[in-house]
Amino acid sequence: MQAYQSSSITARSLCALSAAKKHQMKKQRISTTVKAQEFIATDKAPAAAGPYSQGIKSGGLLYTCGCVAFVPETMEIVEGGIEAETRQALTNMGEILKAGGSDFSKVVKTTIFITNMADFPKVNAIYSEFFNTPGPARSTVGVASLPKGGLIEIDAIAEC
């Protein structure tokens, strides 16, 4: 403190300088760790039916929207029951993964929403056609309803 007093810097200005330096250091740390987001869109999967993106790349990961069984050209649910809907939802997901520079082999987590838990074995049979064994981590949630009366919705997180 003696050296600073001789150059007329007070303790108060020293604290202010220190606080400003700390703030600048925090600001620099934040600016170097924030990752840009890249919005993924493809016309080979159904267009977003609301204010959301088909996919987002951030921090080396690709996050897909919830993929339902919409046929991209008509935006209607594919006919044929839970097996057809599961296949269409996963096909749509595959197009989003591809557009984001990823694929099913890089998926690390999925979440499945189904309206009838009794369909779980049928969903698993189709799901296993798209994912290697062992597959990614997964959650399956029973829900009351899905858009346009759909039976299934699936989202994913993948490396890219």
Taking 90 as the threshold, does the pLDDT of residue 40 lie above it? Answer: yes
Greater confidence (4 vs 158) lies with 158
Cis status, amide bond into 51, omega within 30 of 0: no
Residue 80 Ramachandran class (φ > 0 left, ψ -120 to 50 alpha, else beta)? left
Domain count, the chain: 1
Tokens of 35: 């990752």
15 occurs within a structural domain: no
User: What gap in Å lies between CA 8 and CA 3, rounded to an integer?
Assistant: 9
Range(s) of the domain holding residue 116: 38-159
Mean pLDDT of 100-118: 98
Task: Identify the CATH number of the domain in which residue 148 sits.
Answer: 3.30.1330.40
**pTM value surpassing 0.85:** no
Taking 70 as the threshold, does the pLDDT of residue 50 lie above it? Answer: yes
1 occurs within a structural domain: no
